[in-house]
Amino acid sequence: MYMERANRKGSSWKKILPPMALSDCITWAVLLWIFFNLLWLKFMEVHIPQWVGAAIATALALLFIFFWPREAGEVEEDEEEIIGQE
């Protein structure tokens, strides 16, 4: 039951976010990683070490890359490659 609600909720936010190609997602993830670390250096390094900020930024970047909605054609190509490998 929980997964059904999550799936319903998940479909609505994917409609709001603009789909991007994988290369665009990687570019934005790197830019956001740098920006997050600069903000961490400015405001948080006094209290929490930089490596913690880098770990959080890396996790957020990976989530951004893997879970951001893809363009329609790109998803179909990925699915065809997976099916072809089996």
Q: pLDDT tens across 70-84, in order?
A: 887 765 565 666 666
Q: Name the residue ranges covered by the structural domains of the chain.
A: 18-75
Residue 70, beta-bridge partner list: 20
Q: Give the integer Cα–Cα distance in Å for 45 and 50.
A: 6
Region 5-22 average pLDDT: 69
Region 65-71 average pLDDT: 87
Most confident option among 6-15, 51-60, 64-73 = 51-60
Query: pTM (2 decimals)?
Result: 0.67
Q: Give the integer Cα–Cα distance in Å for 10 and 46.
A: 37
pLDDT tens column, 24-38: 999 999 999 999 999
**CA dihedral for 45, 49, 54, 59, sign (positive or negative):** negative
pLDDT at 3: 45
